């Protein structure tokens, strides 16, 4: 082990250099979840989707809910980091990497939900061989793969200097880091090119991210089904996605802050800013939800109202009101004042939003299918252990991969922090440039 001189580097590389007992416990726990998921999938693969609780009217359930949810979470990442980066918000520096990793991990898992949901996963290639561009599902495939590529690149580019640090400082995995570092030496030219590339990607990734979730919403809104067929769905989904993304990011930040002792890097101020962002999103989410349901209520189409009342007072009321509680009441009450117990409040709000947003996805997918227009024998959907297993496994895989990532790469960008510290002066200059110049009194 090479001695690492830089204190910052030492702290940030510590999780990669040393592995504690907690890590193994976490891996073991998550592996159990994943094992459950794998087992569930194997059963489902051999027996057919019949092992789930899905049935004739309700042909979509947990998997599609998870799909929308995970794709939603993915917005955390890139979108926040990109926006903060473009707006040159200096407090972003310790956050961006975490956000970007969430995006990449969760995108794969979200896309995987569709694979799990397919009756014939062996024919997945048909989508590519015989794809039909009329189908919103194909738009999804396209935009998600574009988003995957973009966010992977966007994650990777700012990591190059850090990988080079790892290559130089860390004793192990020399080969891996050398390859990934792409010969980074930190020359000025390299710096310039990298910065340019990051900036371009940041610009690119925002429209792609928005398109992804709009397209996900189109899966529902392009049909004629009551409470799906809505023009508001695109922005509504995007807002929800950012909302849940921020929440997931905050949860991840707090967890790693605690686990890896990053208190110096992730300070209450970060959480306060993010908390305020979350508050804004909660209000925005409420606005969209209110508009959506009020419009439906006033239109009072019988078919819409069947689903509407099923959510308000019918069999889905716990989910609906649970969603309102988790997405609005709890976060608002936690976030209005962040002067004290910032981190605790933000964590509570974020956890609540993660749950609430999952409920929201569920409450969008299932009730509409449960109440068909025609007098069809109705059925209430209740998931089986297989669906719970695959859901748990999906979360498990996400957490495990995230954890493993932190064992290979620094979760907080070393060079960006350093750059931030070195660039205080530059920031000062920039600040001054925002302000009106000193007024020279005319004489």
Positions that interact with another protein (CB under 8 A) = 47-50, 52-60, 114, 117-121, 123-124, 126-127, 130-132, 134-138, 141, 219, 222-225, 369, 372-377, 379
Nearer to another protein, 140 or 416 (CB): 140
Q: How far is the CB of 82 from another protein (least distance, A)?
A: 29
CB of 180 to another protein, least distance (A): 32
Of 375 and 436, CB closest to another protein: 375
User: Nearer to another protein by C-beta: 65 or 96?
Assistant: 65
Closest CB 224 distance from another protein, rounded Å: 5
Question: Is the Cβ of residue 56 or residue 276 nearer to another protein in the bound state?
Answer: 56
Alpha-carbon distances, residue 46 vs 50, 121, 123, 214, 386 (angstroms): 10, 11, 15, 34, 13
* DSSP symbols for 193-247: HHHHHHHHHHHHHHHHHHHHHHHHHHHHHTS--TTT--TTHHHHHHHHHHHHHHH
**Residue of 290, 314, 291 lying closest to 371 (CA atoms):** 314
Tell me whether residue 223 or residue 263 sits nearer to another protein (CB atom). Answer: 223
Give the dihedral sign, CA 430/432/436/437.
Answer: negative
Closer of 159 and 369 to another protein (Cβ): 369
Decide: 297 and 330 in contact? Cβ < 8 Å.
no
Alpha helix positions (H), 260-340: 268-299, 302-312, 317-324, 330-335
- The whole-angstrom separation of Cα 357 and Cα 396 is 18
Compute CA distances 17 → 2, 10, 171, 203, whole Å. 10, 9, 9, 34
Q: Identify which of residues 135 and 153 has a Cβ nearer to another protein in the complex.
A: 135
Give Dmax over CA atoms of the chain in angstroms.
90
Question: CB–CB of 51/384 below 8 Å?
Answer: yes
CB of 215 to another protein, least distance (A): 12
CB of 124 to another protein, least distance (A): 7
- Give, as one character, the DSSP assignment of residue 27: H
Minimal distance, residue 397 CB to another protein, in Å: 22
CB of 123 to another protein, least distance (A): 5
Query: Is the CB of 54 or the CB of 353 nearer to another protein?
Result: 54
Cα–Cα distance list, 356 to 282, 318, 344, 359 (Å) = 11, 12, 18, 5
CB of 393 to another protein, least distance (A): 20
Centre a 10 Å sphere on the Cβ of residue 179 and count the other Cβ atoms it contains: 11
């Amino acid at each position: 082990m090479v001695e690492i001189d830089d204190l910052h580097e030492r702290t940030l590389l510590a999780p990669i250099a040393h592995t504690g007992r907690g890590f193994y416990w976490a891996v073991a726990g998550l592996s159990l979840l994943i094992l459950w998921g794998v087992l569930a999938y194997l059963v489902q693969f051999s027996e057919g989707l019949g092992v789930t609780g899905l049935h004739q009217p309700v042909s979509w359930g947990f998997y599609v809910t998870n799909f929308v949810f995970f794709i939603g979470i993915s917005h955390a990442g890139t979108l926040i980091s990109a926006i903060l980066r473009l707006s040159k918000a200096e407090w972003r520096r310790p956050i961006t990497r975490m956000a970007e990793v969430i995006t990449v991990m969760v995108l794969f898992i979200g896309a995987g939900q569709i694979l799990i949901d397919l009756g014939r996963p062996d024919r997945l290639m048909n989508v590519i061989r015989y794809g039909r561009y009329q189908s919103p599902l194909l738009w999804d495939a396209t935009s998600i793969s574009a988003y995957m590529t973009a966010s992977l690149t966007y994650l990777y580019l700012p990591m190059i200097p850090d990988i080079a640090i790892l290559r130089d400082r860390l004793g192990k995995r020399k080969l891996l880091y050398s390859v990934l570092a792409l010969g980074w030496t930190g020359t000025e030219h390299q710096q310039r090119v990298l910065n340019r590339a990051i900036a371009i990607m940041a610009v690119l990734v925002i429209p792609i991210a928005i398109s992804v979730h709009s397209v996900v919403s189109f899966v529902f809104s392009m049909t004629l089904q009551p409470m799906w067929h809505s023009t508001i769905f695109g922005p509504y989904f995007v807002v929800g996605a950012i909302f849940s993304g921020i929440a997931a990011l905050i949860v991840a930040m707090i967890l790693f802050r605690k686990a890896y002792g990053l208190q110096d890097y992730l300070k209450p101020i970060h959480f306060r800013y993010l908390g305020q962002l979350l508050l804004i999103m909660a209000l925005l989410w409420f606005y969209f939800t209110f508009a959506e349901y009020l419009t439906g209520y006033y239109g009072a189409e019988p078919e819409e109202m069947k689903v509407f009342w099923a959510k308000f007072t019918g069999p889905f009321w716990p989910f609906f009101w649970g969603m309102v509680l988790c997405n609005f009441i709890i976060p608002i009450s936690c976030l209005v004042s962040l002067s004290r117990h910032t981190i605790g409040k933000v964590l509570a709000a974020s956890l609540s939003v993660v749950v609430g947003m999952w409920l929201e996805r569920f409450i969008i997918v299932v009730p509409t299918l449960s109440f068909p227009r025609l007098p069809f024998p109705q059925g209430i959907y209740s998931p089986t252990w297989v669906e719970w297993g695959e859901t748990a496994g999906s979360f498990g895989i996400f957490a495990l991969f995230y954890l493993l990532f932190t064992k290979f790469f620094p979760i907080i960008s070393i060079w960006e922090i350093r750059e931030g510290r070195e660039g205080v002066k530059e920031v000062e200059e920039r600040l001054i440039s925002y302000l009106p110049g000193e007024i020279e009194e005319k004489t």
